[in-house]
């Protein structure tokens, strides 16, 4: 069984709900704010659907055309696709995989900035994280108000927890730099 990318997992999960065409999948992922969980681009989504069809995880059920719009192919998940989805979700929940995000890399090189510059940039990130938290809180409240069961939006709560933890860590780090508890060595200027 081939390893499923995050986008492939999302496509199969959407098709578990009902058959749909790729553009409808794209719209639904954006409407549900799944673009906060994974990179969603129309081209990569279409490529993913084609790859899943080649793996026999999805199959075309028909095509339709509405007005001057391009012809759209509707897909459904196959039994093999349902099994692959379930197995991938099971193993990905159980097994930790380090994903190599960018922020820890640039954080490990922040010493190349003067302390005042680093603090300024950390403060800007804290502000941005606060805005993201507000957006997530709004989306989560909207899902709860619409009666969407929590298992369908608990990934949003997880992301919120990660962002809040990063914000809180940065606030503490800023305080430590300013109080000189975290000794910041000035960079060497040749």
Q: Give pTM, 2 decimals.
A: 0.82
Q: What is the pLDDT of residue 80?
A: 97
CA 12 to chain centre: 16
Q: What is the pLDDT of residue 88?
A: 95
Distances (CA, A) of 177 to 69, 172, 187: 57, 9, 15
Q: Which single residue is written with the structure tokens 């979700």? A: 89
Residue 74 to residue 89: CA distance in whole angstroms: 24
Q: Is the pLDDT of residue 186 over 80?
A: no
DSSP labels, 29-87? HHHTTGGGTS---HHHHHHHHHHHHHTTSEEEEEEE--TTSPPEEEEEE-HHHHHHHHH
Report d(CA 89, CA 68) in Å as an integer: 39
Q: Over the stretch 18-47, which tens digit does the pLDDT of each residue have? A: 999 999 999 999 999 898 899 999 999 999
pLDDT in the model for residue 16: 97
The phi and psi torsions of 20 (rounded to 5 degrees) equal: -160, 165
Angle of helix 6-17 relative to helix 79-94, nearest 10 degrees, comes to 130
- Per residue in 112-140, pLDDT (tens digit) is 999 999 999 999 999 999 999 999 999 99
Q: Give the model's pLDDT for residue 102.
A: 94
Q: Residue 110: its pLDDT value, please?
A: 95
Token pair of 100, please? 């190599």
Contacts of range 58-65, beta carbons closer than 8 Å, 24 or more positions apart: 58/11, 58/12, 58/15, 61/19, 64/21
């Amino acid at each position: 069984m081939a390893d499923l990318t995050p986008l492939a997992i999302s496509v199969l999960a959407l098709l578990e709900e009902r058959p749909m065409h790729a553009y409808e999948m794209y719209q639904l992922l954006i409407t549900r704010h799944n673009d906060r969980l994974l990179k969603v681009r129309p081209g990569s989504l279409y490529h993913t659907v084609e790859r899943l069809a080649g793996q026999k995880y999805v199959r075309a059920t028909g095509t339709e055309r509405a007005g001057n719009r391009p012809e759209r192919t509707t897909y459904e998940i196959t039994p093999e696709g349902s099994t692959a989805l379930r197995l991938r979700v099971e193993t990905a929940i159980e097994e930790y995989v380090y994903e190599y995000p960018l922020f820890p890399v640039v954080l490990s090189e922040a010493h190349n900035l003067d302390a005042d510059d680093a603090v300024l940039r950390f403060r800007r990130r804290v502000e941005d994280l606060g805005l993201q938290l507000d957006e997530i809180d709004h989306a989560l409240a909207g899902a709860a108000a619409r009666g969407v069961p929590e298992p369908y939006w608990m990934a949003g709560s997880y992301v919120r927890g990660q962002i809040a933890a990063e914000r809180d860590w940065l606030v503490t780090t800023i305080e430590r730099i300013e109080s000189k508890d975290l000794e910041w060595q000035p960079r060497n200027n040749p």
